[in-house]
Amino acid sequence: MTDYNAIADSPVVRESPSQEITEGKYRILFVDDERNILQASKRIFRKESRYIIDTAASGQEALAMMSGEKYHLVISDNKMPGMVGVELLAQIRDRYPDTIRIMLTGDSDDQAVMGAVKEGAVYRFILKPWNTEDLKATVALALEQYELIQKNKTLQDELGSQSNRQKALDKLSLSTRSRLGELLHSHGLLSEAQIEELNTLRQNRKTSVLKLLLERGWVPESTIYQVLEQETTVESVALPQLQVDPQVTSLIPGQFCERQMVLPLKMLGKRCLLLAVADPTDHELIDDLRFISGLEIHPVLVKVTDIQSKIAAVYGEKQGLQPAQNLVTVMSPSPDAAEPIEVVIEEDEDISLERLLRSTKEPSVIELLNALILEAVQHNASDIHIQPREKIVVVRCRIDGVLVDKIKIPSNYHPALVSRIKIMAELDIAERRRPQDGRITIKTPVKIVDMRISIIPTINGEKVVMRLLDRNAPIFELAALGFSAVNLDRILNLVSIPQGIILATGPTGSGKTTTLHSLLQHQVTSQKNYVTIEDPVEYYMDMASQVRVQEKIGVDFATILRATLRQDPDVILIGEIRDLETAEVAFHAALTGHQVYSTLHANSALDTVARLLDIGLKPYIVSSALTGVISQRLVRKICGQCRVSTEVAPGLLHALGPLFNTNDISFFKGQGCRKCGRSGYSGRLAVHELLILTEEVRALVAKGRSTADIQKAAKKMHFPSLLEDAVAKVHSGQTTADEIYRVLGSQIIE
Ligand SMILES: [Zn+2]
């Protein structure tokens, strides 16, 4: 039986979604003097239960209606008798600034309309004649924007009250009541005379004891840290591993942090602040901060140098951006907006999987699951599989692309485990016969991870797969992706072409998205408008507006892409092209002066062209818009600590084909050491195949010539194939022949 009581007692903190979202209904007002347009608008949204649609035949009528009712969105015609749309929307802006205002107009060059856009009276305009899908998408996006603006306002209010606190903080006399001097004295590290001098100094200088000590150089910093670590109960933490929540750093001014050598790190739940301190013996300082912030303070001991460099990074960067910051918060879709579910795994939950398994007490389902997630996060796993077998449940993690058995759990745990996951992802616990999917954001002490949950019923019970997306995963530099020198050169040329489409292809999990983000990041400049459309968002990029595809509410790739094109983008990243509609819009965008990046499922760079034609694109469109294709696979890298040369079994060489079957290749392997967990591998590396659409290739594609013909041309241009790139990477000791076989399979076609 499922133990629901245990589940209900969950210590997990869940953020409640904002009120605006739970209300769920939006009131929209259409204003037009043409009755048939009003009727058409009503019809379009009739099936959308989220919207309440009202109509008004004139500006005056609209204003009258708005005085009695709150509207989230007004969509108005411009040319109307009496009050024109521009004037109506300007009045609405003044009276109801929260309402989003959209103009329907027949003429985008109309000066009055453009003026209204510039003055902020009109949020965006839709050109007549409009089509249904565009209108739907524009409305959905506008309301999303509405939520963001509301959220941002709440944030601004909070910041306002925080700035009062900041003033109080600035007035706070510098705390100089640390016990550090005495502590060091008791360890024989400071003399009586030095203590006395220290006391005089801190009276006069009003600087923290620790700072004075470091200035004098009486005791080395590392020794002070060691003494503090021994003598205080405060846990010590390596700061570089911790990420700092920018919302939280605004709680305490940078100058104060610098003087007192503290740094706010993040919130633990709603009322407790995790604070890095260099001198935890200064209890008064912590008390003062508690009083002023109104929050419980959970101090952790951090090295002085770590605090200082982090302060410089956090506050330095923030100050540089100050003027534009408000704008950025409004404009870029916050990743949180669409992520109402948040689960926090607390720092002090002592839940390592190993410890849990060794413990004599039976772990609770919550402990077990938290431990599993933490374990997966710590090993950089990309997926967790919970697979029920006949008598046992196996939990496996995909690490570096390979599934590894983690633990086996007795079957009687399984129902409770699945229920716990369903509760976290807000899925239906009672539903056990249909597939379900959901998402959760997990805050662990190490990092924030977005998880996509998928549950399918199997004959042995429900199988759960959780995909982990590291929200702060660093975007790799292009040079770090493992391109061969020749390919890297070609890629750099490719990226510098200002228009056209670049495709990354390969199976799921071959690192396509990672490559595209690196390409994007490589050329990023503030002079261009970047938009990414993804499902899900895998990398967060400050400079780009990132939109998440939500097919359940009709916001799919093609719809967002069309709406995006009206927002004057320069560079667009489309998560995936999977249908003709998306392909057509993407290629059209590439032909009209945009740089487009996307992915496609295709076996090789050459197959990609054929695949695009299969989808239904015309050869001349493909040949003129496509600039290059990167096909890739991920293989595990040989561990650098334990690499040795090796022999490879003749059978394997035979299977890998003639390229491998020569005496010119050296082979290596990892023997297995502590660093690589005895696996012989550490990290991953891509093997690539690049196709650049040179004049010659372009001409062949335009004529609809066969893949074989294009392959001949590519050979002439010396584009190495996947296998050729793989051979080079085996020979240089980066990966093994086994890995190539695992990923590319047998090369013998008989
Ligand atoms: Zn090793």
Question: Cα of 643 to ligand 1 centre, how many Å?
Answer: 7
Evaluate whether 501 touches 627 at the Cβ level (below 8 Å): yes
Least confident of 50-64, 78-92, 275-289: 275-289
Mean pLDDT of 239-262: 73
Q: What is the per-residue pLDDT for 632?
A: 95
Residue 402 CA to ligand 1 centre (angstroms):
17
Omega before 498 within 30 of 0, i.e. cis: no
Q: How far is the CA of 654 from the centre of ligand 1 (A)?
A: 27
Please say if the pLDDT value at position 98 is more than 50: yes
CA of 450 to the centre of ligand 1 (A): 30
Ligand 1 center–CA 352 separation, angstroms: 23
% helix, strand, coil for the chain, step of 5: 45, 20, 35
Distance of CA 645 from the midpoint of ligand 1 (Å): 13
CA of 475 to the centre of ligand 1 (A): 25
Average pLDDT, the chain: 81
Mean pLDDT of 88-113: 81
Ligand 1 center–CA 740 separation, angstroms: 19
Query: Binning pLDDT at 50, 70 and 90, where does residue 362 land?
Result: low
* Dist CA 602 CA 689 (whole Å): 12
Q: How far is the CA of 381 from the centre of ligand 1 (A)?
A: 18
Q: Are 432 and 457 in contact (CB under 8 A)?
A: yes
Rounded CA-CA distance 684/688 in Å is 13
| Residue 677 CA, ligand 1 centroid: distance in Å | 7
More reliable by pLDDT, 433 or 365: 433
Residue 615, helix vs strand vs coil: helix
- pLDDT bin (cut points 50, 70, 90) of residue 683 is confident
Q: Note every long-range contact of 377-385, with CB atoms under 8 Å and residues 24 or more positions apart, other chains counting.
A: 377/442, 377/444, 377/446, 377/447, 377/449, 377/468, 378/446, 380/470, 381/468, 382/467, 382/468, 382/509, 383/465, 383/466, 383/467, 383/468, 384/464, 384/465, 384/466, 384/468, 385/463, 385/464, 385/465
Please tell me which residue, 299 or 341, carries the higher pLDDT value.
299
Compute, in angstroms, the gap from residue 733 CA to the centroid of ligand 1: 13
- Residue 637 in 3-state DSSP? strand
Q: What are phi and psi of 114, to 5 degrees?
A: -60, -40
Quick one: pLDDT at residue 506? 93
256 C-alpha vs ligand 1 centroid, how far in Å? 45
Q: Quote the ligand 1 centre to 738 CA distance (angstroms).
A: 16
Q: In terms of C-beta density within 10 A (0-12 exposed, 13-18 middle, 19 or more buried), how is residue 564 classed?
A: buried
Average pLDDT score over residue span 359-383: 79
What kind and span of H or E run contains 512? Answer: helix 512-522
**Distance from residue 669's CA to the centre of ligand 1 (Å):** 9
Give the distance (Å) from ligand 1 centre to CA of residue 234.
Answer: 35
191-194 own/partner pairs: CB under 8 Å, 24+ apart: 194/218
Q: Report the separation in Å between the CA atom of 736 and the middle of ligand 1, taken as the mean of its atom positions.
A: 13
More confident position, 335 or 263: 263
Token readout for 696 is 């010659």
Q: 676 alpha carbon to ligand 1 midpoint, in Å?
A: 4
Q: 377 CA to middle of ligand 1, Å? A: 21
pLDDT one-digit tens code per residue, 271-312: 788 889 998 888 777 877 776 566 788 888 988 888 888 888
Centroid of ligand 1 to alpha carbon of 638 (angstroms): 8
Residue 639 CA to ligand 1 center (angstroms) comes to 4
pLDDT digits (tens, 9 = 90+) for 177-227: 678 888 888 888 888 888 888 887 777 766 678 888 888 888 888 888 888
Residue 575 to residue 137: CA distance in whole angstroms:
18
**Residue 103 CA to ligand 1 centre (angstroms):** 63
**C-alpha of residue 734 to centroid of ligand 1, in Å:** 13
Ligand 1 center to residue 175 CA distance, Å? 49
746 C-alpha to ligand 1 centroid (Å): 27
- Separation of CA 681 and ligand 1 centre (Å): 6
Going from the Cα of 682 to the center of ligand 1, the distance in angstroms, rounded, reads 7
What pLDDT score does 206 carry?
A: 63
Residues 88-97: contacts with CB under 8 Å, at least 24 apart? 88/31, 88/59, 88/62, 88/63, 89/116, 89/121, 89/122, 90/116, 90/119, 90/121, 91/59, 91/63, 92/62, 92/63, 92/66, 92/121, 93/120, 93/121, 95/63, 95/66, 96/66, 96/70, 96/71
How confident is the model at residue 601, as a pLDDT?
92
DSSP 332-386: SPPTTTT---EEE--TT----HHHHHH-SSPPPHHHHHHHHHHHHHHTT-SEEEE
Report the separation in Å between the CA atom of 612 and the middle of ligand 1, taken as the mean of its atom positions: 42
Beta carbons of 42 and 31 less than 8 angstroms apart: no
Alpha helices in 29-130 (DSSP H): 35-44, 59-68, 85-95, 111-119
- Beta carbons of 605 and 520 less than 8 angstroms apart: no
**What is the 663 CA–ligand 1 centroid distance (Å)?**
26
- Kindly give the distance from the C-alpha atom of residue 538 to the centroid of ligand 1, in angstroms, as a whole number: 29
What's the predicted TM-score (pTM) here?
0.53
User: In angstroms, what is the span from residue 150 Cα to ligand 1's centroid?
Assistant: 52
Q: Ligand 1 centroid to 511 CA: how many Å?
A: 23
Distance 380 CA to ligand 1 centre (A): 17
Run of H or E residues at 100:
strand 100-105
Q: Please tell me the distance between residue 674's alpha carbon and the centre of ligand 1 in angstroms.
A: 6
The pLDDT tens digits of the residues spanning 501-534 come to 999 999 988 999 999 999 988 888 888 899 999 9
The Å distance, Cα 52 to ligand 1 centre, comes to: 62
Cα-to-centroid distance, 400 and ligand 1 (Å): 14
User: Rounded CA gap, 454 and 439, in Å?
Assistant: 9
Dihedral sign, Cα of residue 703, residue 708, residue 709, residue 713: positive
